[in-house]
Amino acid sequence: MSSTSAAAPGRPRSERARLAILDAAADLLAEGGLACATIEAIAGRAGVSKVTIYRWWPSRGAVAVDAFFHRHEATIQFDDTGDIADDLVGQVEALIAAFRGGPGRIMAELIGAAQSDPSMGQAVRDRWVIPRRTATKAVIKRAVERGQLRADVDPDVVLDQIYGAVYFRVMIGHQALRKGLARELVSNLLDGVRA
């Protein structure tokens, strides 16, 4: 007697259309960035009417975010080897590797567009940032329990000082994501930069 067992009246949502929309949007995103992923282009390529898109997504940004994560979602993984530094470095290097390719550019455009579209911000947070931070934060907390990190440090701030720096470089473009950056970020923060 769960609420899901009660079949909704009327024609059910077309899974075919849903996937066609996400695929079309992801393709357009990959080909020409967010600017090419217009509602009309998505609808045209997916063989779907615009109304069908508007029925299920509030804005084109929301479709784009959904499409992007639908295609790139299976990649949270974290090896907790017990060495907090190595673990963090590995994680950051994976992020940097992803950001060097096309998806990095798209990700930056999505976060960029989210500045003017709250529904995109919500989607980015819920579907990308928060899941990753939650996983990493758990590792940090275990390191605290093991006595590797100070207990009075706010794990959120730690994450921001490592990952924020990467996103900052991507979005401002003042410095490249050069080789060795991941290790520098981690060791600077763990050991401090004071002489």
Partner DNA sequence: AAGTAATCGAGACGGTACGTCCGGTCTTCCT
Partner DNA sequence: AGGAAGACCGGACGTACCGTCTCGATTACTT
Residue with tokens 């994560």: 69
Q: Minimal distance in Å, beta carbon 32 to a copy of itself?
A: 11
Are 78 and 94 spatial neighbours (Cβ–Cβ below 8 Å)? no
| Site track for DNA across 56-75, x = CB under 7 A | x--xx---------------
Burial of 147 (0-12, 13-18, 19+ CB in 10 A): exposed
The one among 47, 102, 112, 118 contacting DNA by CB under 7 A: 47
C-beta atoms surrounding 18 within 10 Å: 17
* CB crowding 31-62: b at 16 or more within 10 Å, else e: eebbeebbbebbbebbebeeebbeeebebbbb
- Residue 104 interacts with which of DNA, a copy of itself, none, CB < 5 to 8 Å by class: none
Q: Which stretch binds a copy of itself (CB under 8 A): 22-30, 51-59, 91-99, 105-113?
A: 105-113
Are 29 and 64 spatial neighbours (Cβ–Cβ below 8 Å)? yes
CA-based torsion, 44, 31, 23, 92: positive or negative: negative
The one among 9, 147, 173, 192 contacting DNA by CB under 7 A: 9
Amino acid making up residue 125:
R
Q: Which stretch binds DNA (CB under 7 A): 9-17, 88-96, 120-128, 166-174?
A: 9-17
Write out the residues near DNA by the rule CB under 7 A.
7-14, 17-18, 20, 38-41, 47-52, 54-56, 59-60
Q: Which residues bind a copy of itself (CB under 8 A)?
A: 33-35, 108-109, 111-116, 121, 124-125, 129-130, 133, 144, 147-151, 153-154, 156-158, 160-169, 171-175, 181, 184-185, 188-195
